[in-house]
């Protein structure tokens, strides 16, 4: 899918205003389609082919006793999680938090002096709010929760932006009630227009897409979330949604739903920049 058209047409002020509105509507439509496609992947788990993506290091995907200097060491994990982990979508290990909001793994964020493509440390997939499988890290957040239970405190780093995008997009695609939660928490702009026509039952099960690709800037970062799928023509490609994340002082990362950068599409599995961090 191509990027939204941002080329204006000559004309008077009314024509320009209409062009701008059309562009925004086109962007909204494309993102809604992208969310619908992504929801097929993450809500239902329909992945017909899996691509091997090399992580930025050899660190385990799950660490209950992380070795990083800023990590929380779990001496009594049985009091924080269900006795046994479970397999989630994409056959990944998920720890079921006894607290519906999740378990904070560290209250200190790591230094930003790392390669952009290095995985966050101590990543653990946690099942929160009953049926949301989302990544928590010991290095890049989250460090807390908003009053309504949305994770916050993600680092101003590529890793933190990707973690935040995984969390907040999951809320946006798992029902109106959860879309309202993330907007109320201040971590997305108004979702009503862009999610019009995209309806799933409230509190639908959702899991973070396994693949991320980050183009980082400390003020505005583009996070691509994706999964491999087999298309009708037999080709195996990465189905993706582009998510602009804007940094707002006092709030942190926010999904910029009114951005013309919102779009969706497919890329070959050989495309550069993709990582599997969780």
d(CA 112, CA 128): 27
Q: Judge residue 118's burial from the number of C-beta atoms within 10 Å of its C-beta, 0-12 exposed, 13-18 middle, 19 or more buried.
A: middle
Q: Does residue 14 form part of some domain?
A: no
Verify cis geometry, omega within 30 degrees of 0, for the bond prior to 138: no
DSSP structural state of residue 79: G
**Cα angle at 110 between 104 and 112, to 5 degrees?**
140
d(CA 172, CA 199): 10
Can you give the pLDDT at residue 40?
Answer: 43
177: β partners = none
Helix ranges restricted to H, the chain: 13-44, 158-172, 176-184
d(CA 107, CA 142): 8
Paired tokens of 114: 């790392």
Number of domain units in the chain: 1
**CA distances (Å), origin 53, targets 49, 74, 213, 256, 272:** 13, 29, 11, 28, 10
One pLDDT digit (tens) per residue for the chain, 278 residues:
323 333 344 444 434 433 444 444 454 555 555 555 555 444 433 322 222 232 333 333 344 443 343 334 455 566 899 999 999 988 999 999 999 999 999 888 988 889 999 999 999 999 999 999 999 999 999 999 999 999 999 999 999 999 999 999 999 999 999 999 999 999 999 988 767 777 889 999 999 999 999 999 999 999 999 999 999 999 999 999 999 999 999 999 999 999 999 889 999 999 999 999 99
Q: Does residue 23 form part of some domain?
A: no
d(CA 246, CA 233): 36
Can you give the pLDDT at residue 212?
Answer: 98
Can you give the pLDDT at residue 6?
Answer: 38
**CA distances (Å), origin 23, targets 4, 7, 15, 56, 277:** 7, 9, 12, 37, 34
User: Is residue 211 within 8 Å of residue 227, measured between CB atoms?
Assistant: yes
Q: Does residue 4 form part of some domain?
A: no
d(CA 213, CA 229): 17
Can you give the pLDDT at residue 38?
Answer: 52
d(CA 193, CA 252): 23
The parent domain of residue 126 ranges over 28-268
Q: Does residue 225 form part of some domain?
A: yes
Q: Does residue 52 form part of some domain?
A: yes
Q: Does residue 227 form part of some domain?
A: yes
d(CA 136, CA 55): 17
Q: Does residue 276 form part of some domain?
A: no
d(CA 278, CA 137): 10
Q: Does residue 166 form part of some domain?
A: yes
* Rg of the Cα atoms in the chain: 19
Can you give the pLDDT at residue 205?
Answer: 97
Can you give the pLDDT at residue 36?
Answer: 54
Paired tokens of 212: 């991320």
Can you give the pLDDT at residue 10?
Answer: 40
């Amino acid at each position: 899918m191509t990027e939204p058209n941002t080329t204006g047409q000559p004309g008077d002020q009314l024509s320009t205003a209409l062009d701008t509105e059309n562009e925004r509507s086109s962007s909204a439509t494309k993102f809604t389609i992208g969310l619908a496609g992504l929801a097929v992947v993450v809500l239902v788990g329909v992945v017909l082919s899996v691509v091997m993506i090399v992580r930025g290091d050899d660190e385990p995907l799950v660490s209950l006793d992380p070795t990083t200097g800023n990590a929380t060491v779990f001496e009594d994990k049985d009091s924080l999680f269900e006795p046994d982990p479970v397999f989630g979508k994409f056959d990944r290990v998920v720890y079921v938090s006894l607290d519906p909001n999740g378990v904070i793994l560290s209250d200190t964020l790591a230094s930003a002096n790392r390669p952009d493509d290095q995985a966050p440390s101590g990543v653990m997939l946690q099942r929160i709010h009953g049926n949301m499988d989302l990544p928590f890290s010991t290095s890049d957040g989250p460090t807390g929760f908003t009053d309504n239970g949305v994770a916050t405190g993600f680092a101003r780093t590529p890793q933190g932006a990707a973690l935040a995008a995984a969390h907040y997009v999951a809320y946006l695609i798992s029902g109106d009630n959860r879309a309202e939660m993330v907007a109320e928490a201040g971590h997305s702009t108004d979702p009503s227009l862009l999610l019009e026509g995209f309806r799933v039952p409230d509190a639908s099960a959702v899991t973070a897409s396994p693949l991320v690709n980050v183009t980082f800037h400390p003020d505005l970062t583009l996070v691509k979330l994706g999964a491999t799928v087999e298309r009708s023509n037999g080709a195996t490609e990465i189905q993706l949604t582009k998510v602009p994340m804007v940094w707002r002082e006092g709030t942190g990362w926010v999904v910029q739903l009114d951005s013309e950068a919102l779009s969706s599409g497919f890329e070959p599995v050989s495309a550069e920049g993709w990582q599997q961090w969780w």
